[in-house]
């Protein structure tokens, strides 16, 4: 269905869709479980932001050679990390997942070195005002080359590129470390020489927080079909003064987006902050792009302009052409 005037929607057009029929590759899952993690060594850890920023994000690489992870992790999958030590109840820390940001074949092309993009969770407790440091993100960011960490995985079989990836166009919408899987996917797609369009819209607070900026600027310059859009929420207000959240790429860059969105072979991938999907569903509804959504009957007859956030949360899920990973 083509993007249209939101005021002329025919609600009976809204499909109720079933699970994705897009063929995704078979992947290895949970070869290493939390009870039996594999030791791997850190080979590199460097700042991933464009320049110094209070958003501390690192690109961390590890060597999985000789393990059953070698050559068996693909973009869209995650790896688990077990931090050392115990929680406040004396139990070993639970596993935390981190998306691989590496392309197929890893950083080295031989499937031995994989990487992730990790943000230190640092906060002040609202009431006590005590400093709060996330356990595993800080553990991982503190590790140096040569250190050994315990890893599980791989995990995830739904947030992958299709088997016949060259048959599709892609709109990737990312906030923060949600960029990780798209780094690997973008490298894979552009290396393959595929001709369809790939749009990467990335949202971050300040220009300093643009992750892997040089890589994406470079892909944008080298490939006519790769489009890198930056949405800097606290620096570039929209014309009405609101924050330019990444979902507004669908409206504010309609010149680029509409012709791609209206193609039947376009897929939308969303990764990053939990909650970002609600705004995306609303905008897709307002644009009449119901093909990307799975909408429960409860919303039949309700104009998308009137969809409340609660309704969107309860009654809308990604359709078969939309893939979601939020945390």
Active site residues: 98-99, 271, 325, 327
Q: Which listed option, ligand FAD, ligand A2P, none, makes contact with residue 97 (CB within 5 to 8 Å by class)? A: ligand FAD
* Tokens linked to 273: 């902050």
Show contacts with ligand FAD in window 200-239 (CB under 6 A).
Answer: none
Q: Which of 35, 125, 222, 274 binds ligand FAD (CB under 6 A)?
A: 125
Q: Give the residue with the Cβ less far from ligand A2P, 175 or 311.
A: 175
Q: Does 273 bind ligand A2P (CB under 6 A)?
A: yes
Q: Does 319 bind ligand A2P (CB under 6 A)?
A: no
Show contacts with ligand A2P in window 34-63 (CB under 6 A).
Answer: 55
**Binding string, residues 185-224; x marks residues near ligand A2P by CB under 6 A:** ------------------xxx---x---------------
CB of 233 to ligand A2P, least distance (A): 3
Binding residues with ligand A2P: total (CB under 6 A): 17
CB of 204 to ligand A2P, least distance (A): 5
Q: Which listed option, ligand A2P, ligand FAD, none, makes contact with residue 4 (CB within 5 to 8 Å by class)? A: none
User: Using alpha carbons only, how large is the chain's radius of gyration in Å?
Assistant: 20
Per-residue HEC secondary structure of the chain comes to CCCCCHHHCCHHHCCCCCCCCCCCCCCCCCCECCCCCEEEEEEEEEECCCCCCCCCEEEEEEECCCCCCCCCCCCCCEEEEECCCECCCCCECCCEEEEECCCCCCCCCCCCEEEEEEECCEEECCCCCCEEECHHHHHHHHCCCCCEEEEEEEECCCCCCCCCHHHCEEEEEEEHHHHHHHHHHHHHHHHCCCCCCEEEEEEECCHHHCCCHHHHHHHHHHCCCEEEEEEECCCCCCCCCCCCCHHHHHHHCHHHHHHHHCCCCEEEEEEECCCHHHHHHHHHHHCCCHHHEEECHHHCCCCHHHCCHHHHHHHEEECCCEEEEEC
CA distance 315 to 320: 16
Binding residues with ligand FAD: total (CB under 6 A): 23
Within 10 A of 235 (CB to CB), how many other CB atoms are there? 15
Q: Which listed option, ligand FAD, ligand A2P, none, makes contact with residue 78 (CB within 5 to 8 Å by class)? A: ligand FAD
Chain mean position to CA 177: 7
Q: Which of 6, 134, 259, 279 binds ligand FAD (CB under 6 A)?
A: 134
325 within 8 A of 273, measured Cβ to Cβ = no
CB of 137 to ligand FAD, least distance (A): 3
Q: Give the residue with the Cβ less far from ligand A2P, 43 or 50.
A: 50
67 within 8 A of 38, measured Cβ to Cβ = yes
CB of 106 to ligand A2P, least distance (A): 25
Q: Does 45 bind ligand FAD (CB under 6 A)?
A: no
Nearest to 232 by CA among 216, 213, 209: 209
Show contacts with ligand FAD in window 94-123 (CB under 6 A).
Answer: 96-99, 116-119, 121, 123
Q: Give the residue with the Cβ less far from ligand FAD, 99 or 249.
A: 99
Show contacts with ligand A2P in window 222-261 (CB under 6 A).
Answer: 233-234, 243, 245-247
Show contacts with ligand A2P in window 144-183 (CB under 6 A).
Answer: 175-176
Interacting residue ranges for ligand FAD, rule: CB under 6 A: 78, 96-99, 116-119, 121, 123-125, 132, 134-138, 177, 180, 325, 327
Interacting residue ranges for ligand A2P, rule: CB under 6 A: 55, 175-176, 203-205, 209, 233-234, 243, 245-247, 273, 275-276, 279
């Amino acid at each position: 269905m083509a993007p249209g005037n939101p005021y002329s929607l025919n609600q009976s057009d809204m499909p109720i869709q079933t699970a994705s029929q897009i063929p995704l590759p078979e992947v290895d899952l949970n070869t290493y479980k939390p009870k039996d993690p594999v030791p791997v060594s850190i080979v590199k850890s460097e700042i991933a932001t464009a320049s110094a920023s209070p958003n501390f994000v690192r690109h961390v690489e590890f060597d999985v050679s000789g393990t059953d992870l070698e050559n068996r992790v693909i973009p869209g999958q995650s790896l688990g990390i077990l931090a050392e030590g115990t929680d406040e109840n004396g139990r070993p820390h639970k596993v935390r997942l981190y998306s691989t940001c590496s392309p197929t074949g890893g950083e080295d092309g031989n499937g031995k070195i994989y990487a992730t993009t990790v943000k230190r969770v640092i906060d002040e407790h609202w009431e006590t005002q005590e400093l709060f440091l996330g356990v595993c993100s800080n553990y991982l960011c503190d590790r140096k080359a040569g250190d050994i960490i315990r890893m599980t995985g791989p995990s995830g079989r739904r947030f992958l590129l299709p088997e016949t990836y060259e048959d599709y166009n892609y709109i990737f919408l990312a906030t923060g470390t949600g960029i990780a899987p798209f780094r690997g996917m973008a490298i894979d797609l552009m290396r393959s020489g595929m001709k369809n369009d790939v749009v990467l819209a990335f949202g971050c607070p300040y220009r300093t927080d643009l992750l892997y900026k040089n890589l994406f600027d470079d892909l944008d310059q080298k490939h006519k079909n790769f489009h890198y859009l930056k949405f800097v929420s606290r620096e570039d207000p929209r014309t009405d003064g609101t924050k330019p959240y990444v979902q507004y790429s669908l409206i504010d860059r309609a010149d680029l987006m509409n012709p791609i969105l209206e193609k039947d072979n376009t897929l939308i991938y969303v990764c990053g902050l939990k909650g970002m999907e609600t705004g995306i569903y609303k905008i897709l509804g307002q644009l009449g792009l119901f093909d990307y959504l799975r909408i429960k009957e409860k919303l039949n007859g309700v104009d998308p302009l009137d969809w409340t956030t609660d309704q969107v949360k309860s009654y809308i899920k990604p359709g078969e052409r939309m893939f979601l990973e939020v945390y």
